């Protein structure tokens, strides 16, 4: 079963829960795992832009003894 994220409207906590598609179709109420409120709604994570480019930059230089960028 897929995982779904629900945002608590009371405390803004994100609860990730495993639900069936049928549960989603039935509009199942998900309990916040922080404040136990049922005042939750589906949360769609924003798609990060340019994440791959950012990660590439972070990978320059694999470590102190890395020879990737040696002069030879």
Alpha helices in the chain (DSSP H): 21-25, 51-58
- Which of the ranges 20-28, 29-37, 41-49, 60-68 carries the binding residues for Zn ion, by CB under 5 A? 29-37
Establish if 1 lies at the interface with Zn ion (CB under 5 A): no
Burial class of residue 14 (count of CB atoms within 10 Å of its CB; 0-12, 13-18, 19+): middle
Q: How far is the CB of 30 from Zn ion (least distance, A)?
A: 10
Q: How far is the C-alpha of 63 from the C-alpha of 61, rounded, in Å?
A: 5
Q: Which is nearer to Zn ion, 35 or 66 (CB)?
A: 35
Q: Which is nearer to Zn ion, 12 or 54 (CB)?
A: 12
Binding site for Zn ion (CB under 5 A): 8, 10-11, 13, 32, 34-35, 37
């Amino acid at each position: 079963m897929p995982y779904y994220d629900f945002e608590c409207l009371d405390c803004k906590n994100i609860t990730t829960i495993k639900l069936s598609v049928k549960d989603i179709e039935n509009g199942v109420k998900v309990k916040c795992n922080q404040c136990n409120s049922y005042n939750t709604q589906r949360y769609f994570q924003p798609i990060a832009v340019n994440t791959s480019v950012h990660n590439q930059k972070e990978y320059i230089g694999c470590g102190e003894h890395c020879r990737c960028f040696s002069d030879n």
